[in-house]
Chains A and B, each alone.
Chain A
Amino acid sequence: GAVVSQHPSWVICKSGTSVKIECRSLDFQATTMFWYRQFPKQSLMLMATSNEGSKATYEQGVEKDKFLINHASLTLSTLTVTSAHPEDSSFYICSAKHRGSNYGYTFGSGTRLTVV
C-alpha cells in the first residue's frame, strides 16, 4: 500500500536553531501535501497545504516565515521550523494526497519536536 516516510521521528534542538522535517511518498506521487500540528490531547490542526511546484498556502495564524514548506517534487515535501522556540515543541504530521484520487490520503508517522 501507499507509504509516506517521515523523518526524523523525534528531534531535540536548542532554542534559536532550525529543524527540517522531511516527508517522502515512497510508492506514489503526492500532488498535494498537508502539514499538521498536534498538541497533547488535541486534534490535528492544519498548518499549511502545499502543491508540487507552487508556494504553500498557510492557515490563519501560522507564520509562513517561521514554518517554511518546500514541495519541490511529487515525492518530497519538507517543513523547516526556523529559529525554534520552546513553544514550537509539538508533534508534526504530514499527509499526502494521492495523484488521481480524491479520497486517498496517506499519513506520515509524525515527528516529535522538543525545543530546549
Chain B
Amino acid sequence: GDSVTQMEGPVTLSEEAFLTINCTYTATGYPSLFWYVQYPGEGLQLLLKATKADDKGSNKGFEATYRKETTSFHLEKGSVQVSDSAVYFCAFTNQAGTALIFGKGTTLSVSS
C-alpha cells in the first residue's frame, strides 16, 4: 500500500552543519510531495512541496527534489541553525485535495 519511509531519528547536529533527511515513498500514480515541520508546542507547518517529477521545492534554506526514478524526496539544508530544531515529516498525496500520507517524522536537534 501507499507509504512513506523516513530516516530514523533523532538527528543531532552542530550549528552550520549540513543536513540530509532521507525520504522515500510508495505510491500509485503521480503523487505530490511535501515536507512539514513541527516546532515544539506548535502545529505542523508546510515547509516545502513539489508537485511533479524533477521539481525542486525550497524554503528557508531547505531544499528537496522530486526524484521519480528513485521515488525519493530527500530534505537538505547546507547550514543548519539552532532554530531549525524540530520534527520534520515527509508526506504525499496521490490526488490533489485528498488526505496526506505521512512518514514517522524525524527529530532534528541542533546545538550551538
Contact = CB atoms under 8 A, between A and B. Distances in A.
A binds B: yes
Interface of A: 4, 6, 32, 34, 36, 41-44, 46, 49, 93, 95, 97, 102-103, 105, 107-110
Contact of A105 (B42, B46, B51, B104): B46
B89 interface: yes
Contact of B97 (A41, A43, A44, A102): A102
A36 B89 CA distance: 14
Nearest to A4: B43
Q: Is the interface of B mostly helix, strand, loop or mixed?
A: loop
Nearest to B45: A107
B43 A43 contact: no
Given A6-B43, A43-B4, A108-B43, A103 B49 contact: yes
B32 interface: yes
B104 A107 contact: no
Contact of B43 (A34, A42, A110): A110
A97 B96 CA distance: 10
Interface string B96-112: 11111111110000000
Contacts of B96: 102-103
Given A6-B43, A43-B105, A109-B43, A32 B97 contact: yes
B44 interface: yes
B43 A44 contact: no
Contacts of A95: 44, 99-100
A-B pairs with the 10 shortest C-beta distances?
Answer: A102-B96, A109-B43, A107-B44, A107-B43, A43-B104, A44-B102, A43-B102, A46-B99, A34-B99, A102-B97
